[in-house]
Amino acid sequence: MRKPLVAGNWKLNGTRESNERLVQSILANTAALDGCEVMVCPPYVYLREVGLAIAGTKVLLGSQDLSVETGGAFTGEVSGQMLRDVGCSHAIIGHSERRALFGDTDSVVATKFQAAHAEGIQPILCVGESLEERQAGVTMDIIERQIAAVMQAGGVGLFAASIIAYEPVWAIGSGLTATPQQAQEVHAHIRGIIAAADAKIAGGLRILYGGSVKGSNASDLFGMNDIDGGLIGGASLDAAEFVTICRAAAGTN
Protein backbone atom coordinates (compact mmCIF):
# COMPACT_ATOMS: atom_id res chain seq x y z
CA MET A 1 0.00 0.00 0.00
CA ARG A 2 2.80 2.45 0.90
CA LYS A 3 5.55 2.33 -1.70
CA PRO A 4 8.92 2.56 0.02
CA LEU A 5 11.13 5.54 -0.71
CA VAL A 6 14.90 5.80 -0.45
CA ALA A 7 16.16 9.40 -0.45
CA GLY A 8 19.84 10.31 -0.57
CA ASN A 9 20.80 13.42 1.40
CA TRP A 10 24.13 14.44 -0.13
CA LYS A 11 24.62 17.24 2.42
CA LEU A 12 27.62 19.51 1.70
CA ASN A 13 29.38 17.06 -0.62
CA GLY A 14 30.12 16.56 -4.28
CA THR A 15 31.50 18.20 -7.38
CA ARG A 16 29.92 18.39 -10.81
CA GLU A 17 32.13 15.50 -11.85
CA SER A 18 31.46 13.24 -8.86
CA ASN A 19 27.74 14.02 -9.03
CA GLU A 20 27.63 12.92 -12.65
CA ARG A 21 29.32 9.61 -11.84
CA LEU A 22 27.04 9.02 -8.86
CA VAL A 23 23.85 9.87 -10.75
CA GLN A 24 24.72 7.75 -13.77
CA SER A 25 25.45 4.77 -11.58
CA ILE A 26 22.20 5.22 -9.62
CA LEU A 27 20.23 5.54 -12.85
CA ALA A 28 21.81 2.46 -14.41
CA ASN A 29 21.24 0.31 -11.35
CA THR A 30 17.82 1.39 -10.12
CA ALA A 31 15.92 1.79 -13.40
CA ALA A 32 14.46 -1.71 -13.15
CA LEU A 33 13.44 -1.40 -9.48
CA ASP A 34 9.67 -1.14 -9.41
CA GLY A 35 9.25 -1.81 -5.72
CA CYS A 36 10.58 1.49 -4.42
CA GLU A 37 10.97 5.16 -5.26
CA VAL A 38 14.42 6.70 -5.36
CA MET A 39 15.33 10.34 -4.68
CA VAL A 40 18.51 12.39 -4.63
CA CYS A 41 18.92 15.62 -2.65
CA PRO A 42 22.05 17.45 -3.87
CA PRO A 43 23.28 20.83 -2.61
CA TYR A 44 21.27 23.76 -4.03
CA VAL A 45 23.96 24.75 -6.49
CA TYR A 46 23.82 21.36 -8.22
CA LEU A 47 20.05 20.89 -8.29
CA ARG A 48 19.56 22.11 -11.84
CA GLU A 49 22.31 19.99 -13.34
CA VAL A 50 21.37 16.84 -11.43
CA GLY A 51 17.73 17.54 -12.29
CA LEU A 52 18.58 17.57 -15.98
CA ALA A 53 20.56 14.33 -15.64
CA ILE A 54 17.57 12.52 -14.09
CA ALA A 55 14.91 14.15 -16.29
CA GLY A 56 12.63 11.55 -17.84
CA THR A 57 13.70 8.86 -15.36
CA LYS A 58 11.90 7.68 -12.22
CA VAL A 59 14.50 9.22 -9.90
CA LEU A 60 13.09 12.16 -7.94
CA LEU A 61 14.77 15.45 -7.05
CA GLY A 62 14.65 16.93 -3.55
CA SER A 63 16.30 19.87 -1.85
CA GLN A 64 17.94 19.76 1.57
CA ASP A 65 16.03 22.76 2.93
CA LEU A 66 14.08 25.79 1.75
CA SER A 67 13.53 29.36 2.87
CA VAL A 68 10.55 30.52 4.90
CA GLU A 69 10.59 33.55 2.61
CA THR A 70 9.03 33.68 -0.82
CA GLY A 71 11.15 36.43 -2.36
CA GLY A 72 12.87 39.77 -1.81
CA ALA A 73 15.85 41.03 0.15
CA PHE A 74 16.94 37.81 1.86
CA THR A 75 20.55 37.29 0.84
CA GLY A 76 21.56 33.65 0.52
CA GLU A 77 18.05 32.22 0.74
CA VAL A 78 16.38 29.86 -1.75
CA SER A 79 12.58 29.86 -2.02
CA GLY A 80 10.16 27.03 -2.63
CA GLN A 81 9.20 28.62 -5.92
CA MET A 82 12.83 28.54 -7.09
CA LEU A 83 13.12 24.90 -6.07
CA ARG A 84 9.95 24.06 -7.97
CA ASP A 85 11.34 25.98 -10.95
CA VAL A 86 14.43 23.74 -11.10
CA GLY A 87 12.38 20.56 -10.78
CA CYS A 88 12.28 19.70 -7.08
CA SER A 89 9.26 17.70 -6.02
CA HIS A 90 10.41 17.30 -2.40
CA ALA A 91 12.33 19.21 0.27
CA ILE A 92 13.94 17.94 3.46
CA ILE A 93 12.68 20.09 6.34
CA GLY A 94 13.94 20.23 9.93
CA HIS A 95 16.99 18.02 9.50
CA SER A 96 18.75 17.74 12.86
CA GLU A 97 21.81 19.52 11.43
CA ARG A 98 19.61 22.50 10.51
CA ARG A 99 17.94 22.39 13.92
CA ALA A 100 21.24 22.15 15.83
CA LEU A 101 23.52 24.35 13.71
CA PHE A 102 21.34 26.83 11.84
CA GLY A 103 18.63 27.82 14.29
CA ASP A 104 15.71 25.89 12.82
CA THR A 105 13.37 25.89 15.81
CA ASP A 106 10.10 23.95 15.83
CA SER A 107 8.35 27.13 14.77
CA VAL A 108 10.74 27.77 11.85
CA VAL A 109 10.34 24.15 10.78
CA ALA A 110 6.55 24.52 10.87
CA THR A 111 6.77 27.62 8.67
CA LYS A 112 9.08 25.86 6.20
CA PHE A 113 6.69 22.91 6.10
CA GLN A 114 3.88 25.24 5.06
CA ALA A 115 6.14 27.13 2.64
CA ALA A 116 6.92 23.86 0.87
CA HIS A 117 3.24 22.98 0.58
CA ALA A 118 2.43 26.43 -0.72
CA GLU A 119 4.60 25.60 -3.75
CA GLY A 120 3.36 22.03 -4.17
CA ILE A 121 6.60 20.63 -2.81
CA GLN A 122 6.27 17.60 -0.55
CA PRO A 123 8.21 18.11 2.67
CA ILE A 124 10.20 15.32 4.25
CA LEU A 125 9.84 16.37 7.87
CA CYS A 126 12.73 15.14 10.02
CA VAL A 127 12.14 14.40 13.68
CA GLY A 128 14.32 12.69 16.25
CA GLU A 129 15.75 12.73 19.73
CA SER A 130 19.31 13.34 20.95
CA LEU A 131 21.25 10.73 22.92
CA GLU A 132 20.62 12.63 26.17
CA GLU A 133 16.90 12.71 25.44
CA ARG A 134 16.82 8.96 24.70
CA GLN A 135 18.76 8.22 27.87
CA ALA A 136 16.38 10.44 29.84
CA GLY A 137 13.45 8.41 28.50
CA VAL A 138 11.78 11.34 26.73
CA THR A 139 12.11 10.16 23.12
CA MET A 140 8.35 10.01 22.51
CA ASP A 141 7.82 13.43 24.14
CA ILE A 142 10.36 14.99 21.78
CA ILE A 143 8.78 13.38 18.73
CA GLU A 144 5.31 14.48 19.85
CA ARG A 145 6.51 18.06 20.37
CA GLN A 146 8.20 18.23 16.96
CA ILE A 147 5.16 16.87 15.13
CA ALA A 148 2.65 18.90 17.14
CA ALA A 149 4.43 22.14 16.21
CA VAL A 150 3.91 21.38 12.54
CA MET A 151 0.39 19.98 12.89
CA GLN A 152 -0.87 22.85 15.03
CA ALA A 153 0.42 25.38 12.52
CA GLY A 154 -0.76 23.70 9.31
CA GLY A 155 -3.34 21.08 10.27
CA VAL A 156 -3.23 17.33 9.80
CA GLY A 157 -4.45 17.60 6.19
CA LEU A 158 -0.99 18.62 4.97
CA PHE A 159 0.36 15.24 6.06
CA ALA A 160 -1.62 13.64 3.21
CA ALA A 161 1.10 15.01 0.91
CA SER A 162 4.08 14.80 3.24
CA ILE A 163 6.68 12.33 4.42
CA ILE A 164 8.14 12.02 7.89
CA ALA A 165 11.70 10.84 8.53
CA TYR A 166 12.53 9.51 11.98
CA GLU A 167 16.20 10.27 12.47
CA PRO A 168 17.56 9.69 15.96
CA VAL A 169 20.26 12.36 16.26
CA TRP A 170 22.63 9.91 17.97
CA ALA A 171 22.50 7.64 14.92
CA ILE A 172 23.22 10.26 12.26
CA GLY A 173 26.71 9.94 10.82
CA SER A 174 27.82 8.10 13.96
CA GLY A 175 27.86 4.54 12.67
CA LEU A 176 25.32 3.73 15.42
CA THR A 177 21.99 2.55 14.04
CA ALA A 178 18.75 2.18 15.94
CA THR A 179 17.84 -1.49 16.08
CA PRO A 180 14.89 -2.38 13.85
CA GLN A 181 12.81 -2.80 17.02
CA GLN A 182 13.84 0.60 18.44
CA ALA A 183 13.02 2.28 15.14
CA GLN A 184 9.74 0.42 14.70
CA GLU A 185 8.61 1.49 18.17
CA VAL A 186 9.07 5.16 17.30
CA HIS A 187 7.64 4.79 13.79
CA ALA A 188 4.49 3.16 15.20
CA HIS A 189 4.23 6.00 17.70
CA ILE A 190 4.55 8.60 14.94
CA ARG A 191 1.82 6.89 12.94
CA GLY A 192 -0.30 6.82 16.08
CA ILE A 193 0.12 10.58 16.58
CA ILE A 194 -1.12 11.24 13.06
CA ALA A 195 -3.86 8.58 13.36
CA ALA A 196 -5.23 10.32 16.43
CA ALA A 197 -5.99 13.27 14.14
CA ASP A 198 -6.79 11.37 10.92
CA ALA A 199 -6.56 7.59 10.62
CA LYS A 200 -6.75 7.55 6.82
CA ILE A 201 -3.89 10.01 6.40
CA ALA A 202 -1.84 8.05 8.95
CA GLY A 203 -2.40 4.81 7.02
CA GLY A 204 -1.00 6.30 3.81
CA LEU A 205 1.84 8.31 5.38
CA ARG A 206 5.35 7.19 4.53
CA ILE A 207 7.68 7.24 7.52
CA LEU A 208 11.36 6.85 6.60
CA TYR A 209 14.13 5.83 8.95
CA GLY A 210 17.44 7.70 8.87
CA GLY A 211 20.64 7.20 10.83
CA SER A 212 23.65 5.23 9.57
CA VAL A 213 21.61 3.07 7.19
CA LYS A 214 23.93 0.88 5.12
CA GLY A 215 23.56 -1.92 2.63
CA SER A 216 24.16 -4.37 5.47
CA ASN A 217 21.37 -3.19 7.82
CA ALA A 218 18.77 -1.85 5.38
CA SER A 219 16.77 -5.07 4.86
CA ASP A 220 16.22 -5.62 8.58
CA LEU A 221 15.09 -2.02 9.10
CA PHE A 222 12.84 -1.93 6.05
CA GLY A 223 11.31 -5.25 7.07
CA MET A 224 9.53 -3.56 9.98
CA ASN A 225 5.82 -2.78 9.58
CA ASP A 226 5.97 0.99 9.93
CA ILE A 227 9.31 1.67 8.23
CA ASP A 228 8.62 2.78 4.66
CA GLY A 229 12.15 3.33 3.39
CA GLY A 230 15.10 5.47 4.40
CA LEU A 231 16.69 8.90 4.40
CA ILE A 232 20.32 8.13 3.72
CA GLY A 233 23.28 10.42 4.42
CA GLY A 234 26.82 9.05 4.17
CA ALA A 235 25.90 5.88 2.28
CA SER A 236 24.08 7.88 -0.39
CA LEU A 237 27.45 9.14 -1.68
CA ASP A 238 28.58 5.61 -2.50
CA ALA A 239 26.65 4.37 -5.52
CA ALA A 240 27.05 0.68 -4.71
CA GLU A 241 25.89 1.13 -1.10
CA PHE A 242 23.00 3.35 -2.11
CA VAL A 243 21.83 0.92 -4.77
CA THR A 244 22.01 -1.97 -2.28
CA ILE A 245 19.81 0.06 0.07
CA CYS A 246 17.35 0.77 -2.77
CA ARG A 247 17.22 -2.95 -3.58
CA ALA A 248 16.52 -3.72 0.05
CA ALA A 249 13.61 -1.26 0.01
CA ALA A 250 12.29 -2.74 -3.21
CA GLY A 251 12.57 -6.23 -1.74
CA THR A 252 14.85 -7.51 -4.46
CA ASN A 253 17.87 -8.66 -2.45
* Residues classed as catalytic: 95, 167
Distance of alpha carbon 166 from alpha carbon 178, whole angstroms: 10
In the complex with ligand PEP, which residue's Cβ is closer, 173 or 204? 173
**In this chain, which residue has its C-beta nearest to ligand PEP?**
233
CA pseudo-torsion sign 227, 238, 36, 164: positive
List 14, 42, 128, 210, residue binding ligand PEP (CB under 6 A): 210
Q: First CA to last CA across the chain, in angstroms?
A: 20
Q: Is 102 in the site for ligand PEP (CB under 6 A)?
A: no
Q: Is 9 in the site for ligand PEP (CB under 6 A)?
A: yes
CB of 103 to ligand PEP, least distance (A): 18
The backbone region for 241, taken as left when phi is positive above 0, alpha when psi lies in -120 to 50, beta otherwise, is: alpha
Q: Is 233 in the site for ligand PEP (CB under 6 A)?
A: yes
In the complex with ligand PEP, which residue's Cβ is closer, 111 or 212? 212
Check: CB of residue 65 under 8 Å from CB of residue 112.
yes
Q: Which of the residues 154 through 183 are near ligand PEP (CB under 6 A)?
A: 167, 172-173
Residue 154 burial class via C-beta count within 10 angstroms: exposed 0-12, middle 13-18, buried 19 and up? middle
Q: Is 216 in the site for ligand PEP (CB under 6 A)?
A: no
User: Applying CB under 6 A, which residues contact ligand PEP?
Assistant: 9, 167, 172-173, 210-213, 231-235
